[in-house]
Amino acid sequence: MKFRFIDHTADVAFEVYGSSLKELIENATLAFYEAFVDLSKLKVDREKELEVEADSPDYLLFNWLNELLFMFETEFFAGKDVEVEVKENGNFKAVGRIKGGRISPEIVKTEPKAITFHKFRVERKDGMWTAFVIVDI
């Protein structure tokens, strides 16, 4: 399982899984787009590069998701396929490519407003990474 959506009264919540931090970020990207876009109707015709740095895995994922939100709101971009490389040398750096396309109002399920810190967590336990994310809508 890559991710699962959690029932939440007013927001979108999801739990994400990965065998590595790289896979966790990739699956969080897929969960983000799946939550807000009917991906079956998204035409893949462009590729975006994304680079994010942070001093911890939780801030790395938080910053990454905020960049996805920024591209969603300003460039009307959503992705269907993502590849990420994570480097760690004193801090954490994620560099990735997202294949996707321009979103139109008819394929948007609901609009995200903000990635929240409410209950936000990234954990590594028994060799697996998990994250819990709530997005304000």
Domain residue extents for the chain: 3-136
The H or E element that residue 40 is part of is none
Is residue 102's pLDDT more than 90? Answer: yes
* pLDDT score recorded for residue 8: 62
Cβ-contact 80, 39 below 8 angstroms? yes
CATH of region 3-136: 3.55.10.10
* pLDDT score recorded for residue 3: 78
- Vertex 75: Cα angle to 70 and 79 (nearest 5): 80
Query: What pTM was computed for the model?
Result: 0.92
